[in-house]
Copies of this chain bind each other. A is one copy, B any other.
Amino acid sequence: MEKLKVGVIGATGMVGQNYIRLLDNHPWFEVVYVAASSRSAGKTYTESVEGRWLMESGIPVGVRDLMVEEAGNIKAVAEKCDFIFSAVEIDKQSVKNLEDQYAIAGIPVVSNNSAHRHTKDVPMLIPEINHQHIEIIQAQKRRYKTDKGFIVVKPNCSLQSYMTPVYALIAAGYPIKEMIISTLQAVSGAGYPGVSSMNMIDNVVPYIGGEEEKSEIEPLKILGRIKNGEFKNYEGIAISANCNRVPVIDGHVACVNLRFAESRPGIDEIKEIWSSFSSLPQELKLPFAPNKPIIYMEEADRPQPRKDRNLDKAMAVSVGRLRDCNVFDCRFVGLSHNTVRGAAGGGILNAELLKAKGYFG
């Protein structure tokens, strides 16, 4: 099989670097095009990230000498790429316009940005949960007047530590009514340089701008359904999220308290639901799909970010400490790798789903 030609737009930022790292030797995709701001344009990729390459592994051989192009060169992208990953770090309206232009030009856009998360016909995907949402792409193509271009997005990284476990319960017939969450989030979520070390040594910061709102609103669309070519939010659940920054490099932890809408499953039944949960990405054996989307840990003090964030290619959600709750029905701790599952890895899984389902022409 010939690999699909991929462009990474915003390739020099932290999420972009993760795309470059994770796509190295990908069985289906090959990075042939990298774009960034005009400051980087005209340099090789290696030159453009000199002194700010943040990955632990080196720059992949195939990308090192690619010339960095300006992000706005739609025509070049259309010629060279089968689809793109959008990871630009500019203002929201500019991202929106740029991604619109790509789509109109017939380029599928797998975006990491929040700009189009609430566009009515753009699916916000966690493939294990709402893979069927890609059907709305037809409506989108009509709006963009193209038969090839479209946009899909992924949700905020903080959700990933609990949305799959929560969805597994809903899917098993246990709808959830109320959910209170407190997160302990890693600094990589703020990009680079991001959070000052002056705020993270011997400290935590009980605030992350915009994060609580995203954590409370985005699940409603993810759990929603398509009606007349647009999304209707799920309405049965109320969510309250308290987001905290902690001195951890990668891995968002969430303490989750749940009240079910109707009957509640027992502790053992929940563990069984999670352990047996599997979805389309697993069925299709997508390269980035974890073998088990949810890994339950019986140890009293797990999951922990440094020890568990990399489980199953850093794409699994690990959960633990499931127990009854004095106020709601039950509570647990969830963990996911925010820059892999919650960012570039999640974007790649989205692209794999689209490829497998024939959306890349």
Contact = CB atoms under 8 A, between A and B. Distances in A.
Interface stretch (A140-148, A264-272, A299-307): A299-307
B201 A247 contact: yes
A187 B194 CA distance: 15
Contacts of A180: 180, 257, 325, 327-328
Contacts of A257: 180, 240, 242
A202 B249 contact: yes
A195 B203 CA distance: 15
A247 B244 contact: no
Contacts of A306: 56, 201-203, 249
A248 B196 contact: no
A204 to B, nearest CB: 5
Interface in A230-266: 238-240, 242, 244, 246-249, 253, 255, 257
Given A56-B310, A326-B240, A331-B240, A198 B204 contact: no
A198 B303 CA distance: 15
Nearest to A187: B197
Interface in A10-28: none
Nearest to A207: B301
B255 A204 contact: no
Contacts of A358: none
Nearest to A310: B56
Interface string A274-314: 00000000000000000000000001111111111010000
Nearest to A333: B206
A98 to B, nearest CB: 26
A101 interface: no
B244 A255 contact: yes
By size class, the interface of chain A is 35 or more
Contacts of A84: none
A184 B333 CA distance: 14
Contact of A184 (B199, B204, B328): B204
Contacts of A247: 197, 201-202, 246-247
Contacts of A345: none
A54 interface: yes
A197 B198 CA distance: 8
B202 A198 contact: no
A138 interface: no
A56 B54 CA distance: 21
A346 interface: no
Contacts of A192: 196, 198
Contact of A253 (B51, B206, B249, B333): B206
A187 B198 contact: yes
Given A242-B255, A247-B247, A326-B216, A196 B199 contact: no
A202 B193 CA distance: 16
Given A184-B184, A201-B202, 16 more contacts: A51-B301, A54-B198, A54-B307, A57-B310, A184-B206, A197-B200, A197-B247, A202-B306, A205-B301, A205-B304, A207-B301, A209-B300, A239-B327, A240-B326, A242-B333, A246-B246
5 contacts: A180-B180, A182-B182, A201-B201, A206-B303, A240-B328
